Amino acid sequence: MTRRFWIGSLLVIACLVGFSAAQTSSEPAAAAPSRVQPPSATATARELEKSADELRQEKLYLDAIDYYREALKRSRANLAVLHNKIGITQLQMGRYPEAKKSFERAIKSDKNYPDARNNLGVIHYIQKKYGRAIKEYRKAIALREDSASFHSNLGTAYFARKEFEKAAAEYQRALDLDPDVFEHRSLAGVSAQMSSPEDRAYYNFVLARMYAKAGNLDRALNYLRKAMEEGYKEIGKVYEENEFAGLRKDPRFSELMASKPLAIPQ
């Protein structure tokens, strides 16, 4: 298998699911200083969970965990979801062993909860236990096959093991399910850095190819420009590969190739 399909050791992204939040970086987030009152003695479990969601959005992570745990004490249902949310909060704080235990508790509460399976896979992925990550991602997909983020995550784990054809298949499935999957990176995620400028350039070229094949010429041109700016050395393939046939007919393609964007210094 050559570099034609996908980036060799590139780790693109691992996406968390099950919590409405913006994407995060791979660096643990610092918790904001607390200014929050203790959970109300009269609040319902659902009210506490909602408050915890808001605290987590404000990066008041320790307070959010306190509220989630109090919600657990007052709830006889929704336990898997609450454990999963605690795990996500702990993961964003960089407390990976604690997050792992929370995701395992979520699975123990509901072994058919796909979000927790996926998120446990993220923990294994971060810890470079790629075989275990693949196992959990595949379990998550078995429970919810139509999740683009699950397939995207599985693809990243295959990348790490240099199983490029399998990675390509999972990324294509993710794109089929969600044409925006590479734009918004799911609701919450842990970004991993690409290993080299060459990898970034090739990755952008691959996305350009995928979007061109799908007929999304705007995004194809955008990623093609990025590949050129990153100094992709085999840019001439756009004149040879069938996936770019439609793009080659677009006047903007000719303009882009003629402009030859300079590679951005690293």
Average pLDDT, the chain: 83
- pLDDT, average across residues 243-262: 92
* Structural domains of the chain, with CATH: 13-191 (1.25.40.10), 197-259 (no CATH)
pLDDT per position as a tens digit, 129-177: 999 999 999 999 999 999 999 998 998 888 778 787 787 789 889 999 9
Query: pTM for this structure?
Result: 0.76
Closest listed residue to residue 91, CA positions, set 67, 127, 47: 127
What's the pLDDT score for residue 185? 53
What's the pLDDT score for residue 77? 85
Both tokens of residue 20? 């409405």
What's the pLDDT score for residue 193? 40
pLDDT per position as a tens digit, 15-34: 676 543 333 344 566 655 66
Residue with token string 């990348």:
159
What's the pLDDT score for residue 31? 58
The half-sphere exposure of 242 on its side-chain side, counting CA atoms within 13 A, is: 0
Contact in structure between 177 and 146 (CB atoms under 8 Å): yes
What's the pLDDT score for residue 125? 92
Which of the four pLDDT bands, split at 50, 70 and 90, describes residue 195? low
Contact in structure between 72 and 82 (CB atoms under 8 Å): yes
The amino acid at 51: S
Both tokens of residue 184? 């918004």
Rounded CA gap, 18 and 85, in Å?
7
What's the pLDDT score for residue 34? 61
User: For the packed helices 130-143 and 148-160, what is the interaxial angle rounded to 10 degrees?
Assistant: 160
Contact in structure between 68 and 89 (CB atoms under 8 Å): yes
- pLDDT, average across residues 235-264: 90
SS3 43: coil
Pairing mode, strands 188-191 and 13-16 = antiparallel
